[in-house]
Amino acid sequence: GRSVKRNSPTLYNVGYSTVLFHDGRESTLEQQVWGPLLAHNEMANPSIGYVIDKLNVTDDYAEQFAKVFGKGPSMETLGMALASYERSLVSGNSPFDRWQYGNDKRALTEAEQRGLALFTGKANCSACHTIGSHDALLTDNTFHNTGIGYLEAMGTPDAKRKIQVAPGIFIDVDRDLIAQVSEAKANDLGRYEVTQNPEDRWKYKTPALRNIGLTAPYMHNGSLATLKAVVEFYNRGGIANENLDPLIQPLKLSDQDINDLVSFLTSLTGDNTDELVADAFAAPVSDAD
């Protein structure tokens, strides 16, 4: 029932990522899967061998691994199995895709078209959330300091903290009350924890924006509850600090501009998300009756 120090990144289109985790500490999905399996505050398995031994004595798994890989569960084959599934989580054919690459000029509403123009123009979102001539990953797969991490580490915390209790539902809870039941949150220096380069303090990977309307809360620490709050944050120019990315500048957007950008962001939802979720719930679990 406890939260970890970072907000979970989306797995939609994760197969196209060249760096993984918010701090980029892994470069392949096969390696990345071991992070949550061994993390003491996530799945808390004591070792790699423990996980593999458990799979070997669980009905069906040894046989299924042998059928697919020619051998049973191992560090290599477990990584391959989970990574292969994650690469199947491809979501596309959003209204934006149909407009941008399918020449369907009815795919976006007028508000969404204005938002796209802002995204690639005045707001300059596409400097980091890239859009190419043939495809749009909507991330540059690099790292930027927006000030969010700096504020969390160096700022004075509010008396209340916003807590998500259900999808899209947040309540404000006194920090003193949280402290009575919660483990102290670890300090988070972002990319610096990987590189040890002081210039990388509070830098985090640019998130891809596919299905962004479905994946609240936002930012690496889940501190912003809505897309409108995210756009308003960038409109203010982030949070000043010595390593603030030079791309982060006040945008001077009007209220209409902000609403149009939010409308555009919701147009990035693919047409197969319901199918992907249904497939996940329909998959058999080995130790279930």
Distance CA 206, CA 22 (A): 8
Same domain, yes or no, for 15 and 75?
yes
Same domain, 73 and 207: no
Residue 5 included in any domain: no
The per-residue pLDDT for 286 is: 54
Burial classification of residue 159, based on how many CB atoms lie within 10 Å of its CB (0-12 exposed, 13-18 middle, 19 or more buried):
exposed
Least confident of 4-13, 91-100, 180-189, 196-205: 180-189
Q: Are residues 264 and 180 in the same domain?
A: yes
- Both 146 and 228 in one domain: the answer is yes
Task: Pick 60 or 214 by higher pLDDT.
Answer: 214
φ, ψ of residue 163 to 5 degrees: the values are -120, 130
Tell me the C-alpha distance between 6 and 23, whole Å.
Answer: 10
Q: Is residue 1 part of a domain?
A: no
Output 158 or 50, whichever has higher pLDDT: 50
289 confidence band (pLDDT: 50, 70, 90): very low
The answer to the question of residue 6 being in a domain is no
Residues 124-179: pLDDT tens digits? 999 999 999 999 999 999 999 999 999 988 887 778 877 778 877 888 889 888 87
Same domain assignment for residues 199 and 284 = no
248-280 pLDDT, tens per residue? 999 999 999 999 999 999 999 999 999 998 988
Residue 3 is encoded by which pair of tokens? 């939260």
Structure tokens at 160: 């209340």
The per-residue pLDDT for 47 is 96
Looking at the chain, the whole-number percentage of residues with pLDDT higher than 70 is 97
**Residue 214 maps to a domain:** yes
176 occurs within a structural domain: yes
Q: Does 247 fall in a domain?
A: yes
Domain CATH for 68:
1.10.760.10
Does residue 128 share a domain with residue 265? yes
The answer to the question of residue 28 being in a domain is: yes
> β-strand 169-174 against 204-205: which pairing, if any?
unpaired
Q: Is residue 105 part of a domain?
A: yes
Taking the CB of residue 157, how many other CB atoms lie within 10 A of it?
Answer: 10
Q: d(Cα 258, Cα 119) in Å, to the nearest integer?
A: 10
Q: Are residues 137 and 232 in the same domain?
A: yes
CA distance 148 to 206: 13
Are 152 and 276 in a shared domain? no
Q: Is residue 98 located within the same domain as residue 213? A: yes
Average pLDDT, the chain: 92
The phi, psi pair for 212, rounded to 5°, reads -60, -25
Counting the structural domains of the chain, the total is 2
- Per-residue confidence (pLDDT) for residue 2, from 0 to 100: 64
My answer on whether 264 and 277 are in the same domain is no
- pLDDT band of 1, cuts 50, 70, 90: low
Q: Residue 163 has what pLDDT? A: 78
Residues 209-222, mean pLDDT to the nearest whole number? 94
The strand ranges marked E within the chain are 143-144, 160-166, 169-174, 204-205
* Residue span of the structural domain in which 54 resides: 11-91+272-289
Q: Are residues 83 and 17 part of one domain?
A: yes
Q: 206 with 106, same domain? A: yes
Asked if pLDDT for residue 191 goes beyond 90, the answer is: yes
Q: Across residues 21-50, what is the average pLDDT?
A: 95
